[in-house]
Structure 1
Amino acid sequence: MLTTSGMLQDKVVVVTGAGNGIGRAIALAMAAQGAAVVVNDIGTGLTGDGLDDAPGQRVVQEIQAAGGRAVASKDSVAEASSAERIVQTAVDHFGRIDCVVNNAGILRDRIFHNMSVADWEAVMQVHLHGAFYMSRAAARHFKEQQSGALVHMTSTSGLIGNMGQANYAAAKLGIVALSKSIALDMERFNVRSNCISPFAWSRMTGSVPTDTPEKAARVEKLKQMTPEKIAPVAVYLASDAAKDVNAQVFAVRNNEIFLMSQPRPLRSVHRGEGWTPETVAEHAMPALRSSFVGVDRSSDVFTWDPV
């Protein structure tokens, strides 16, 4: 039900990819905390193909049935002009824009040597370009009103690594850099930009293979991590309570919230006379090797069961 004095009372929020899964859960939670919500979803399948005209409208109806305010948008984030229309929908219907949640995404997983240019470009266009287009469209309004929040969905596929996802991983790690740059450039206007790396069972993770008993067991554990577990952090980051939280990357895994590291120097070696290829091999690499980062997948790092 709608909270009449929630953390987002009188705020206006755009949530992209909000017709299903994590986006839907975030849109409902934003509305429950008092926000007016633009529910953006073009209604395509997991790969960006196919069409279902109704998912965004169904979420709008859920919000309205609970006493909230919402409007549907079917424009694509993957084009600059349509991203502008999504943000303008918020302004036209609710008079302002206070937060954009960049959640829209597709998957086209391929082992790297089989990945086509089309697979690469489609995923980049929705995830990385879409986050840029949406953030840029909102930035002018944020600057004028001297406030605003951006919440971007990243992934441990980019932060750590996963097989068969070069396109997705590159886009998702690019979003972290985009978010940090926005935070640096827009902080002077009281605009914040943060990332969430969500662990949740949704259409995006529904393609995880279950061809061995071990993989099937892991999928059953993943199903405990519902999209609703992600929404509270997104609501918080959109709210004034997070006014001092900027340029951070959080991961949410069932009932756990992590602050993720960002690249910083780990160790150094110095040679006053400079380096040759031979001394790099003989001195630098042996000295640095104990701090090398492994060729890890996300599941190699998050090895424990969700709690």
Structure 2
Amino acid sequence: MSDIRFDAKVAIVTGAGGGLGRQYALELARRGAKVVVNDLGGNLDGTGGSPAAAEGVAAEIKAAGGEAIANASSVTDDAGMAAMVQQAMDAWGRIDVLIANAGILRDKSFTKMTVPDFEAVLNVHLLGTVKPTKAVWDIMRAQNYGRIVVTTSSTGLYGNFGQANYGAAKLGLIGFINTLKLEGQKNNIHANAISPVAGTRMTESLVTPEVFKAIAPQYVMPGVIYLASDAAPSGAILAAGGGAFALARMYETEGVHLAPADLSAEAVRDNWARIGDEAGQQAYAAGGEQGQKFFRKMAGG
């Protein structure tokens, strides 16, 4: 099969001033894409900012013979995201790929976490993905082409102590792409999620130097490049780390129908093992499939 290429395509990568985002931006450019390198250049907790990070990666791309624009707008700023998209359109006339990678951390146990800490993380991870996506959506619809990759996390999928804010935001993004994959179908817009395990400034203090090196961002990057390509699926959650790749899926069991004969909390308790029986479980493609199952069971199916 032929190599994956992005010739004549335009990509926006948020949080591209370092770590994972930098790897995505550099590889997209190496494969022919024109790249908007977006990064606020702030601290890990979201405070501060400097254009130096974005400018540095854009300079790397240009030095290698590629085309790039640096942008230091915050992903939480509506006007900044609109201006970033307009910047790309003025330069190149289209936007084909959005990789929403920007993020911050404000980890604390829930009892110690403040509401502003919760809101700040939701604003960057969840709304900071929604806002650039909204800014490119109609452009992609008009083109009848778009590839959107959001960044989820094992914390969102499975939980992690001290990250209630981060987990809520990251699982929210799965709900987001589950609807985008449906609404984007007729216009060839595919939406997917990457769930990375990588050595970045977010994880540097949590692992040994040896592990940090073994889970370097370049070991996640190939999965994201595929999700941004013409051949990408839609609605996938790709977990990646250290060169290993896996798909995460949400399954629903077949369950049992208790009404009207035995409709009580006690019946739910007593049938818990049957409710959770994995035989026949399915990963639904849309929310309506759950409703169809319940109506089937109500009809005796």
Relative to the length of structure 2, the TM-score reads 0.87
Matched, 1:228 2:218: yes
Letter in 2 for 1:261: R
Matched, 1:21 2:19: yes
Which residue of 2 is the match for residue 305 of structure 1? Answer: none
| Gap regions ≥5 residues in structure 2 | 279-301
Given candidates 180, 183, 186, the residue that maps to 1:188 is 186
The runs of 4+ residues in structure 1 deviating greater than 6 Å are none
Distance (whole Å) between structure 2 residues aligned to residue 58 and residue 124 of structure 1: 27
Does the 8 Å CA contact 1:251/1:257 hold for their aligned counterparts? Answer: yes
| Gap regions ≥5 residues in structure 1 | 209-215, 292-307
SS in 2 for 1:221: helix
Matched, 1:161 2:151: no
Distance (whole Å) between structure 1 residues aligned to residue 181 and residue 274 of structure 2: 35
Given candidates 245, 269, 294, the residue that maps to 2:256 is 269
Which residue of 2 is the match for residue 124 of structure 1? Answer: 122
Matched, 1:285 2:272: yes
Which residue of 2 is the match for residue 31 of structure 1? Answer: 29
1:23-102 alignment, distance < 5 Å: 23-102=21-100
SS in 2 for 1:274: coil
Which residue of 1 is the match for residue 244 of structure 2? Answer: 256
Deviation at 1:288, TM superposition (A): 4.3
Deviation at 1:83, TM superposition (A): 1.5
Distance (whole Å) between structure 2 residues aligned to residue 239 and residue 285 of structure 1: 43
Distance (whole Å) between structure 1 residues aligned to residue 276 and residue 152 of structure 2: 29
Which residue of 2 is the match for residue 197 of structure 1? Answer: 195
Distance (whole Å) between structure 1 residues aligned to residue 4 and residue 223 of structure 2: 14
Letter in 1 for 2:262: G
Distance (whole Å) between structure 2 residues aligned to residue 156 and residue 222 of structure 1: 17
Distance (whole Å) between structure 2 residues aligned to residue 113 and residue 207 of structure 1: 23
Distance (whole Å) between structure 1 residues aligned to residue 94 and residue 203 of structure 2: 34
Distance (whole Å) between structure 2 residues aligned to residue 226 and residue 98 of structure 1: 27
Deviation at 1:118, TM superposition (A): 0.7
Which residue of 2 is the match for residue 294 of structure 1? Answer: none
SS in 2 for 1:44: coil
The percentage of counterpart residues that share the same residue type is 40
Does the 8 Å CA contact 1:15/1:37 hold for their aligned counterparts? Answer: yes
SS in 2 for 1:223: helix
Letter in 2 for 1:266: T
SS in 2 for 1:157: helix
Change (3 A) 1:269 1:145: same
Distance (whole Å) between structure 1 residues aligned to residue 44 and residue 64 of structure 2: 28
Distance (whole Å) between structure 1 residues aligned to residue 275 and residue 226 of structure 2: 40
Does the 8 Å CA contact 1:26/1:230 hold for their aligned counterparts? Answer: no
Deviation at 1:180, TM superposition (A): 1.2
User: RCO greater where, 1 or 2, for CA within 8 Å and sep 6 or more?
Assistant: 1
Does the 8 Å CA contact 1:10/1:36 hold for their aligned counterparts? Answer: yes
Q: Kindly report the root-mean-square deviation, in angstroms, between the aligned alpha carbons of the 2 structures.
A: 1.7
Q: Count how many residue pairs are aligned between Structure 1 and Structure 2.
A: 275
Distance (whole Å) between structure 1 residues aligned to residue 9 and residue 92 of structure 2: 9
Distance (whole Å) between structure 2 residues aligned to residue 289 and residue 142 of structure 1: 41
SS in 1 for 2:271: helix
Distance (whole Å) between structure 2 residues aligned to residue 19 and residue 59 of structure 1: 6
SS in 1 for 2:36: strand
Relative to the length of structure 1, the TM-score reads 0.85
